[in-house]
Chains A and B, each alone.
Chain A
Amino acid sequence: MKSEKVLIIGGVAAGTKAAAKAKRENPDLKIVVLTKDRHVSYAGCGLPYYLGDVIKEEKELLVKMPEDFLIDYDIEVLTEMEALKIMPEEKTVAVKSLRTGDVQTFAYDKLVLAAGASPFVPPAPGKELGNIVTVRTVTEATAIKNLINTRGIKDAVVVGGGMIGLEVAENLTLKGINTTVVELAPHVLPPYDADVALYVQKYLAEKGIRVLTGTAVKAFEDNGQGDVGVVITEAGPLKADLAVLAVGVRPNVDLAKECGIALGATGAIAVNELMETNIKDIYAVGDCAENTNLITGRPVWYPMGSTANKTGRVAAINLAGTGHKDTMKGVLGTSILKLFELNMGKTGLSERDARALGYDVETVLVTTQDKAHYYPGSHLIVTKLIVDRKTHLVLGGQVYGEGVVDKPVDILVTAISFGATVEQLTKLDLAYAPPFSMAMSSTIVAAHVMINKLQGRFTGVSPLDLKEKMEAGAVLVDVRSDEEFFLRSIPGSINIPLRMLSERAGELDRSKEIIINCKLGLRSYMASLKLKRLGFEKVSILDGGLTAYPFETE
């Protein structure tokens, strides 16, 4: 096989994956990895847990040391090296050593851009003050950890309520720091739907995290010693001796742009299925490269470590010169996170995305157990399914709760990837024994509820629309037992236990819309069938029941 020179710019996930795989494909390749940072191949996604001492020491985050690559793989990794300019005609890259300042030229036959992404810093006055930090590299995380452990941080403000921001907020809270999250969007976790995100906000409030949404940060104020003391927001000033900026990341594309590599609609580097850019022999992988959404076929940018590893591998196979080819068809925007005991994951289109794209959308919120209810350790989880009414294709799903959510999310990933309809979901031969699942798993139950809804067997009301409906005269009837109602209920609801519904139906005004609520949804469904048989016409069910209700109860 040909002994070509492969130069890789970037050494975290995608760059090191591309290097290691290319060498396995073709051991004759001469591979050099350049990285600006001191560290390579580190667990970037683990940084929030490092702050919270779930991961104790820096070394636990480092997957491999630069010298390991030379010894184990015969790959040269050069750290603290910044690529300045790519010259595609000569097939060279000018590179500056950050240690010595020297500039030297590296020649390549194949070039891989794995330049990653950088945190976006909002242009608020005072952002240069001390103790205002981003959490992207091990170096940054270690600095924050030292600050927390030596300076006794009392109050922290996390700017940005996305996945990283919330994970950081969780870990700061676990360290006993009084933490406020400030998010510009109307709710935290912007890729999730509002009904799911508001549930998460309610949960975070119970855990002592203050969340301000729809709120911009206006400035950072000095504490008199050059460090941040107060964060000025639209909702007022917040005391802070640490401000973490987690507003999101932007792809590192300057190097590519300057040498004529085309960017896509999202602003990341445009690539084809082979991970090739528009310039011959230059590939782009990981967070600096654009993706395709598998459902819509449109360009998207989801900077995820899971995708970075896959794209690095695909580029490696295609550039190695073995004659084998591999392709990256696209992604679904799958993500998952844990906040305290709450788990949540999503895949595919959100309800909001699907509506914006013009789909005729139907959704359900279905509360079930994650495993057999009688098996110790079972928990409730909520499945939100998003389906196209025309084709019945599953478009997306969001699953959340204190139980197992990664399995149902991954079932949906698989189903959507292979173009499953909601009917096909109901017959999947999923693994079952009490410690693992219910006989009818959460995904299958959710699919059945969706089919009942698509067939018009019941009408759902989103918890987001409940208040407005009640103000317009709808009556919320809680059909749980009186004991359950005594413990917790939605303000303004009345209690008629399901067992007494037939005899007490006369108390209800038939001219009004009746919305039925229970804990999970099954009793509501049975109650709605009962009322319809009694001649009630305007009957609907609160989607997700009390368990998924994202607002205050009493």
Chain B
Amino acid sequence: MAEKHINARGLQCPGPIVQIFKEAQNCAAGDILCVEVTDQGFKKDIAAWCKKAKNELLSLEEEGGVIKARIKKG
């Protein structure tokens, strides 16, 4: 299973989500997406996306204003 890293720091909504949408299309089920974002709205967005797109949010952490999410494609 592949693990993909995305740096979406500095991007404002919808930047981070659009990037994840695109990357997720090229992933297979079970692949892991790791993303770093500074847009605080992302926390809500990623939870909503995982729920609606049936992906699994493995972890969501914040450190020094940077949000790090790990997602398993469903």
Q: Which residues of A contact B (CB under 8 A)?
A: 373-380, 402, 480-481, 483-484, 486-488, 519, 547
B13 touches A377 (CB 8 A): no
A379 touches B17 (CB 8 A): no
Q: Which residues of B contact A (CB under 8 A)?
A: 9-10, 12-14, 17-18, 21, 38-41, 44-45, 48-49, 52-53, 64-66
Bound state CA distance, A373 and B39, in angstroms? 7
Contacts of A486 in B (CB 8 A): 49, 52-53
Bound state CA distance, A378 and B38, in angstroms? 8
- Look across to chain A and name the residue whose beta carbon is closest to the beta carbon of B49: A487
A377 touches B64 (CB 8 A): yes
> What secondary structure prevails in chain A residues at the interface with B?
loop
A19 to chain B, nearest CB (A): 45
Contacts known (A375-B38, A380-B41); A480 close to B66, Cβ less than 8 A? no
- Look across to chain A and name the residue whose beta carbon is closest to the beta carbon of B13: A519
A489 to chain B, nearest CB (A): 11
A269 to chain B, nearest CB (A): 46
B15 to chain A, nearest CB (A): 10
Say which residue of B12, B13, B53, B65 sits within 8 Å of A376 (CB atoms).
B65
Q: What are some 24 contacts across the A-B interface (CB < 8 A)?
A: A373-B12, A374-B9, A374-B10, A374-B38, A375-B65, A376-B65, A376-B66, A377-B38, A377-B40, A377-B64, A378-B38, A378-B65, A380-B41, A483-B14, A483-B17, A484-B13, A484-B17, A487-B49, A487-B52, A488-B45, A488-B48, A519-B13, A519-B14, A547-B41
Contacts of B53 in A (CB 8 A): 486
| A-B CB proximity, top 9 nearest | A376-B65, A377-B65, A374-B10, A487-B48, A484-B14, A481-B14, A373-B12, A376-B38, A483-B21
B25 to chain A, nearest CB (A): 11
B64 touches A376 (CB 8 A): yes
Contacts of A380 in B (CB 8 A): 40-41
Contacts of B17 in A (CB 8 A): 483-484, 487
Bound state CA distance, A373 and B16, in angstroms? 13
- Counted as pairs of residues, one from A and one from B, with CB atoms less than 8 Å apart, the total is 50
Contacts of B39 in A (CB 8 A): 373
Bound state CA distance, A312 and B74, in angstroms? 65
- Look across to chain A and name the residue whose beta carbon is closest to the beta carbon of B44: A488
Known interface pairs A373-B12, A376-B64, A377-B38; 14 further A-B residue pairs with C-beta atoms within 8 A, sorted by A's residue number? A375-B38, A376-B65, A377-B65, A379-B40, A402-B40, A480-B14, A483-B18, A484-B13, A486-B52, A487-B17, A487-B48, A487-B49, A488-B48, A519-B13
A436 to chain B, nearest CB (A): 14
Contacts of A487 in B (CB 8 A): 17, 45, 48-49, 52
Say which residue of A378, A480, A519 sits within 8 Å of B40 (CB atoms).
A378
B50 to chain A, nearest CB (A): 10
Contacts of A375 in B (CB 8 A): 38, 65
B7 to chain A, nearest CB (A): 12
- Look across to chain B and name the residue whose beta carbon is closest to the beta carbon of A402: B40
Bound state CA distance, A519 and B42, in angstroms? 13
Contacts known (A373-B12, A374-B38, A519-B13); A481 close to B18, Cβ less than 8 A? yes
Contacts of A378 in B (CB 8 A): 38, 40, 65
Contacts of A480 in B (CB 8 A): 14
Contacts of A488 in B (CB 8 A): 44-45, 48
B56 to chain A, nearest CB (A): 17
Bound state CA distance, A374 and B9, in angstroms? 7
Bound state CA distance, A375 and B12, in angstroms? 11
Contacts of A373 in B (CB 8 A): 10, 12, 38-39
A17 to chain B, nearest CB (A): 38
Contacts of B18 in A (CB 8 A): 481, 483
Bound state CA distance, A381 and B11, in angstroms? 17
- Look across to chain A and name the residue whose beta carbon is closest to the beta carbon of B21: A483
- Look across to chain B and name the residue whose beta carbon is closest to the beta carbon of A374: B10
A550 to chain B, nearest CB (A): 16
- Look across to chain B and name the residue whose beta carbon is closest to the beta carbon of A376: B65
Bound state CA distance, A374 and B10, in angstroms? 4
- Look across to chain B and name the residue whose beta carbon is closest to the beta carbon of A486: B52
Bound state CA distance, A483 and B44, in angstroms? 14
B37 to chain A, nearest CB (A): 10
Contacts of A481 in B (CB 8 A): 14, 18
A124 to chain B, nearest CB (A): 39
A40 to chain B, nearest CB (A): 42
Bound state CA distance, A483 and B21, in angstroms? 7
- Look across to chain A and name the residue whose beta carbon is closest to the beta carbon of B41: A380
Bound state CA distance, A389 and B9, in angstroms? 41
B45 to chain A, nearest CB (A): 6
Bound state CA distance, A373 and B38, in angstroms? 8
Contacts of B66 in A (CB 8 A): 376
Bound state CA distance, A278 and B21, in angstroms? 71
